[in-house]
Each structure stands twice: as structure tokens, then as C-alpha cells.
Structure 1
Amino acid sequence: MDPQLLIACSVMMTLMVVLPGPDWAFVIATGTSERSILPSLSGILLGYLATVAAVALGVGAVVATLPWFIVVLTFAAAAYLVYLGVRVLRAPPVVVVAGASRGATADVESGGAQPEASDRPWLRVLQGAGVSGLNPKGLLVLVVLLPQFTDASGAWPIPLQLAVLGLIFVGACALVYSIVGYGARTVLRLRPSAMRIVSRVSGAAMIVLAVWLVVEQVAHLT
């Protein structure tokens, strides 16, 4: 593949991932409520890998001709984000500061439904895959933007080029969301009292993003 195309694609993909969206809100919520972000991060990456595979196999071209599918996906993503946001708002994690004998360390106890996810990492994997798999922005990036960076006259077949470019996007997600998730945990360690605020903000952000997705989609339909 043309190195210039790869560089341009890498820059564009990283910029798209840096823009806050449903993935950001989910990773921040996980970073402030779970002992590890790895299950959630793995789920997000698996969701995008599945989309990349579908695009490389030609499903993306079919989806691009079905505007109604994007509409359905958008409303499904909005509903799922509201569900996750409400869960975080109803049961924000609680910080427990260990005794001085062990040296003032902060631990997290999750209220309500949160222990269920902590005890079952696979549930966080599924939730993460749901967030990324239903993320219209991710689908539009992989279906609409990726083909613009392919080279029909290149030595590699188009499906292989799409797969490589899609992996660049997934790699950018892994890097950015790791920084976001562990950054949230750093806030927890430095300011344990801020954790509940950050959790509530991330939960509210999911709901706001859901409303924004619906409003934007309705605007396109009218």
C-alpha cells in the first residue's frame, strides 16, 4: 500500500477516535467503577474488529446502500446508551479509603447492579462490544471513510487494504481509550472524592450523547 495513504489514514483515524463519543463515556464509567478497564476495552475492540471484518468482506458496501439500516442502528445505539447511563447514575461506585495501617489507599465498591459486572468480566466484554458495535460514528468511519483511502491500482486487493486500514482504526481506539480509561483511574487515586462526580458526569454524558444521536438522525430524516 502507498505509505502516504497509510499515514493520512492513521492521522484521520486517530482524530476521529479522539473526538468524544459513546466509547469515551463507557470507558470513563468503567475506569471509575471497575478494578480493570481491560474487559470493557477488549469488548470495544472486539466490536470494531467484527465491523472491520464485515466491511472487508463486502458487507460495508451493502450497508452503505441501506440508509434505513443506519437509522435503526442509531436508535438502537441511543437506547443502549440511555440504559447504560441510567445504570451508572442509579448506582455510582463508592470509594472506600483503607485504614492508615495499610497506607491510605482508595478502593472501589460498586453499588446496585455494578458488582454484577465486576464479578463477571465477560459481561463487560459484551457491553463494550455492544457500545462499539452500535456506534454509528464507528460504522460510518469504517463504511464510508475507509474506502476513500484504498488504491484500486495497488498491488494489494481491496478487501486486504480495507482490513489493514480497519486495523489502524482499531489500534487508534486501543491507544486512545487506554489513555482515557487509565486517566480516569488516575483521577480516582489522586482525588478519591472526585470519583462519584466523574461517574455521574460519564453516566449523564451517555444519556446526552443518546439524545444527540436521535436529534441528529431525526434532522437528517426531515
Structure 2
Amino acid sequence: MSPALYLSFLVTTLVLIFTPGPVNVLAMNQALAGGWRSALPCVWGASLAVLLQLVLTALCLSSVLMISPVALDVLRWLGAGYLACLGWRQWQMPKPDSSQPLPGPQRRFWRGFAISGLNPKTLLFFPALFPQFLRAGAAWSEAMQYLALAASFLLLFSLGVALTALCSAPLRGLLARRSRWQLYNRLMASVLVLMGGTLAILR
């Protein structure tokens, strides 16, 4: 794998990570409610889910296993339903009260894991993405190339979502007014429901 090919992979990864998605929305919400540090458990949970998906992709690429269409449909509907449920809860969520505690770190961790893990697009997308950057006959074996690409993707994913939370935290002052918070809240709720609907019709 040449340096130019690896750089192309990094650019592609960054574009994918900073494209708005449910994990980004979750990180933004947590940062707005309790500061960027409160979003870190969500980041770690989502990163663990991505790691498991990368492992499944490695097994898929190495053994040429096909995922059952029925299992993919079940996972797709579970993910869509979960995003729609989150959107409904987001729509009804009151303005955060600094005097009330946030959900515990463990709960935030598993929420990030669920949102990232219940996304079959990743299971479908990874096997299509990584082979484009693997080269047979290179100095590194294809397995080592995949390991380097997967580790790079996971690192950039974790840093990218954490950066999203960090950049969202300063907006807490802007959203201090209840009317502005309500507008933001309903916009994010609509985004989550739209993502769920898109996931439901995804084939």
C-alpha cells in the first residue's frame, strides 16, 4: 500500500466521520447538556461498537462469509426503531437543568454502543470500503494492510466524535434561552427520526 493510497484512505475516512450521523448527534446532545467531558463515555461506547464491526468485517473478508439477508433486515429494523425512539424522547426532552444530574457514565457508554452498533450500514459499508485500499503483492500482507487501515479508522473515529463534542460545548451559552433550546431540540429530534426512516427503507 503506497503512501498516496493510505492518504486517500485517511481523507475518505475523515469525510465519512464528519458527515452528520446518529453518533455525532448523540455526542452533541451530551456536550450541550453537561460539557464535552460528559460525552466521552458515549464516544468510547460507539468506538467499541465500531471495533466489533471491524472485527466482523475482517472475518467476512477472510472467510468470504455472507451475512443472512433476514438477519440484516432484523438488524436494520431494530436500528431504525431505536433511532425513532431516541428522536421521540429528544422531542419531549426539557431544557437541561444544571441542578439535576446527568445519566451515569455507564448508561451513556451503552447508549453510544447501541446507537453505533445498531447500524447495519457499517456492516455493509466496511466490506465494500476496505478492499479498495488493499493491494496484493505489496510489502505488507493483505491482513497487515487491513489491520493498519482498521486501526487508523478506529483512531480517527474516536478523535472525530470527541472533537464534535468539544466543538459543540461552547454552544451551551447560545442555547441558554428556552426558545432556542426548543428549536435545537426539535431539529435534532427530526434528524434522528429521519435517520431512522432512511435506515428502515435502506436496501
Q: Same fold (TM over 0.5)?
A: yes
What one-letter code is carried by the residue in structure 1 that aligns with 2:168?
A: A
Q: Closer, same or farther in 2 for the Cα pair 1:131/1:30, shift >3 Å?
A: same
1:23-67 deviation line (CA, Å, top 9, x unaligned): 2222222222234110111111111111112222x1356565544
Of 146-155 and 135-144, more deviation after overlay is shown by: 135-144
Q: Is the 8 A contact 1:53 1:163 kept in 2?
A: no
CA contact (8 A) 1:187 1:195 kept: no
Query: Aligned letter for 2:96?
Result: V
Structure 1's 18 and 49: CA in aligned 2 closer, same or farther, altered over 3 A?
A: same
Distance 2:9 2:186 in 1: 35
Report the AA paired with residue 151 of structure 2. L
The 1:170/1:109 distance shift into structure 2, 3 A limit, reads: farther
Mapping of 1:34-183 within 5 angstroms?
Answer: 34-35=34-35, 36-56=38-58, 58-59=59-60, 62=64, 64=66, 66-95=68-97, 108=98, 115=101, 118-183=102-167
Post-superposition shift, 1:182? 2.1
Q: Specify the SS of the correspondent of 2:161.
A: helix
Query: What are the superposed Cα offsets for residues 67-114 of structure 1, whole Å, 9 maximum, x if unpaired?
Result: 44333322111111112222222223335xxxxxxxxxxxx356xxxx
| Structure 1 letter corresponding to 2:167 | G
> What is the CA deviation profile of residues 120-179 of structure 1, one whole-angstrom value per residue up to 9, with x for unaligned ones?
211111111111112233323322211221112123332332222122222232233223
Q: Identify which range, 24-33 or 192-201, moves more after superposition.
A: 192-201
List runs of 5+ in structure 1 lacking aligned partners: 96-107
Residue 3 of structure 2 corresponds to residue 19 of structure 1: no
Cα-to-partner distance string for 1:9-31 (whole Å, 9 max, x where unaligned): 11111111222122222222222
3-state DSSP of counterpart to 1:174: helix
RMSD, matched Cα: 2.3
Change (3 A) 1:196 1:170: farther
Compared with structure 1, are the counterparts of its residues 169 and 200 closer, same or farther at alpha carbon in structure 2 (3 Å cutoff)? same
CA 146–190 in structure 1, closer or farther in 2 if over 3 Å, else same: same
Structure 2 runs not aligned, ≥5 long: none
Which residue is equivalent to 1:212? 198
